[in-house]
Structure 1
């Protein structure tokens, strides 16, 4: 996989085919050729895109949100893709931490 950092420096990282497939399927990367995929968003750009998509509204409580949270935590196999990330307020993001979504929503009710 290839990409650029937020300050424009290029980077390269080998990823397994299953991860590459997930990143492309969930619109986080595009296929360049049979050996290369390229990330679509830099970190800051990705965060801005998720916040704009969700209208800065916390997915969990509906209040103003300015952070992004992974529905399936990265520590449990989740990836940073538009499908797996949502806008969250700081309080919900900190409360959820690496809890599974269903478990968090049950405790949230």
Structure 2
């Protein structure tokens, strides 16, 4: 686990909130999500905040690592459903 890794009860509660908000759907590929990914990685100054987290499956989260992806940066179309 890196120095930047999030862990502990507060992180677990935040991770669960992200997964529920995003319907357990990976923001990058649409498969079932089991992790929360930092849109702006902690290594680049990102914070443990709902606005900086998206649900992600383990393969996508692992592949993304500490990069920022412009294409899907923090946007999940399923969030639009909650606005109506």
Fold conserved between structures, TM > 0.5: yes
Contiguous gaps of at least 5 residues in structure 2: 1-7, 74-84
The DSSP-based 3-state class of the residue aligned with 2:36 is: strand
Equivalent residues in 2 for 1:19-98 (5 A)?
42-98=10-66
Structure richer in strand, relative to its length: 1
Q: State the number of aligned residues.
A: 66
2:28–2:72 Cα contact (<8 Å) kept: no
- Computed over aligned residues only, the root mean square deviation of the Cα atoms, in angstroms, reads 1.9
Following superposition, the deviation at residue 103 of structure 1 comes to: 7.5
| Deviation beyond 3 Å, 4+ runs, structure 1 | none
Q: Which has the higher contact order (CA 8 A, sep 6+)?
A: 2
Alignment TM-score, normalising by the size of structure 1: 0.56
Larger Rg computed on CA atoms: 1
Structure number with higher helix proportion: 2
TM-score, structure 2 as length reference: 0.71
